[in-house]
């Protein structure tokens, strides 16, 4: 997992509530266990028509939002099933942070495990950033200082669990956290082997 650094981007506005994981990545694209290649199918039914042609009425098909690294969304983002393909597809598209008033719990947790920073803000602050997005103004997400900077050096503070913050900054997923203790694991395995050598 890549370490999370300060992200600067013109954010993409998606003022929809209750965006579920099937809308984020439809079920027909869940056949892979690879994390790459899913970005092209992100919001598939909103981005493409029945013939697979790009729709001109969806924000992620417009410049400059095609290259956004930050998504400003509505309440209860990521509800529905627990599919991990949802954060995979968002990350593969290029999103590193999602800002919304609220998230579904499982989706919220899955974001951290995959290097995406989900930020919960009250609706009034989300509205401010949504307007920045619609005006195509760049914003900056500074995780270390837990601050979002926008027009004329204005800023909004956000809260985050310290352990999750540390994992994102250091680029540690569950496997990475385990590997940080590989020396202790080796010592334990050697001890068990000496006590119970019949265990391979």
Task: Assign 6 to helix, strand or coil.
Answer: coil
Is there a domain that residue 183 lies in?
no
Task: Name the β-bridge partners of 149.
Answer: 140, 155
C-alpha–C-alpha distance, residues 98 and 88, integer Å: 13
Is 78 inside a domain boundary? yes
Range(s) of the domain holding residue 168: 7-172
- Residues with pLDDT less than 70, the chain: 174-182, 184-187, 190, 200
User: Cβ distance 52 to 64 under 8 Å?
Assistant: no
What CATH number does the domain containing 12 carry?
Answer: 3.20.19.10
Among 77, 80, 167, smallest CA distance to 118 is for 77
Q: How many domains does the chain have?
A: 1
- Kindly state whether residue 138 falls inside one of the protein's structural domains: yes
- Helices (H) and strands (E) in the chain — how many of each? 8, 8
Residue 181 lies in a domain: no
155 occurs within a structural domain: yes
What pLDDT shows up at residue 38? Answer: 95
Does the pTM surpass 0.75? The reply is yes
Residue 111 lies in a domain: yes
pLDDT 10s digits, 85-136: 999 999 999 999 999 999 999 999 999 999 999 999 999 999 999 999 999 9
**Strand intervals (E) in 61-188:** 70-73, 97-100, 117-120, 139-142, 147-150, 154-157
Tokens of 53: 């042609």
- Contact between 68 and 9 (Cβ < 8 Å): yes
Beta-strand ranges (E) seen in 15-96 are 70-73
What Rg do the C-alpha atoms of the chain give, in angstroms? 19
What was the pLDDT predicted at 181? 61
Does 199 fall in a domain? no
Strands 7-9 and 12-14: unpaired
In a domain, 91, yes or no: yes
The residue behind tokens 């956004």 is 68
Amino acid 183: pLDDT: 75
What is the reported pLDDT for 191?
74
10 with 136: CB under 8 angstroms? yes
């Amino acid at each position: 997992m890549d370490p999370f650094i300060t992200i600067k981007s013109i954010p993409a506005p998606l003022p929809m509530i209750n965006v579920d994981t099937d809308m984020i990545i439809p079920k027909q694209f869940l056949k892979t266990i690879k994390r790459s290649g899913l970005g092209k199918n992100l919001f598939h039914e909103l981005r493409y028509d029945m013939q697979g042609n790009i729709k001109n009425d969806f924000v992620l098909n417009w410049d400059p939002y095609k290259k956004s690294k930050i998504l400003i969304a509505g309440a209860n983002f990521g509800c529905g099933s627990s599919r991990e393909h949802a954060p995979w597809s968002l990350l593969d598209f290029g999103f590193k942070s999602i800002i919304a008033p609220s998230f579904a719990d499982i989706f919220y947790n899955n974001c951290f495990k995959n290097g995406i920073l989900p930020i919960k803000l009250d609706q009034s602050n989300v509205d401010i950033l949504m307007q920045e997005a619609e005006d195509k103004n760049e914003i900056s997400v500074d995780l270390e200082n837990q601050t979002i900077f926008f027009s004329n050096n204005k800023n909004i503070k956000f809260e985050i669990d310290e352990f999750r913050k540390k994992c994102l900054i250091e680029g540690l997923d569950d496997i990475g956290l385990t590997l940080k203790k590989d020396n202790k694991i080796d010592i334990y395995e050697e001890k068990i082997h000496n006590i119970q050598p019949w265990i391979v």
